[in-house]
Amino acid sequence: MVDDVYLQAYRDGGLNAVNDLLKEHFPTDRDRVMVMEGLQDTGYWAITWHEKKHPNGGMYRDFGRVKAYLGDGDE
C-alpha cells in the first residue's frame, strides 16, 4: 500500500511524524499537495487544506497538513 510508510511514521511518532516525513520526502508544497490528495483519497487520512484564490477564478490548494489517521489499526 502506498501509504504504508506514512502509517508506520504515524504509529512511531504520531501526526507530527507524518507531516515531517512528507516535508522531507516532498520539499515543495505542490508535490506535497499531490501526495496528500492521494493519501486523502485512500479514506484513511484526513487533511486540513489551505486554499488560495486562483488568478483565473476558483480556488486551489496551495498547502495542507495531515490532521488525522482514520484507519482502525487492523491494516
For residue 73, what pLDDT band results from cuts at 50, 70 and 90? low
**pLDDT at residue 6 is higher than 60:** yes
Checking 16-22 for CB contacts under 8 A at 24+ apart, the result is 18/66, 18/69, 19/65, 19/66, 22/66
The full DSSP string for 5-48 is HHHHHHHHHHHHHHHHHHHHH--SHHHHHHHHHHHHHTTSEEEE
Q: Per-residue pLDDT tens for 27-60? A: 999 999 999 999 999 999 999 998 778 888 887 7
Owner of C-alpha cell 501509504: 3
Contact 52, 59 (CB under 8 A): yes
pLDDT score, position 2: 55
Percentage of the chain beyond pLDDT 90 is 69
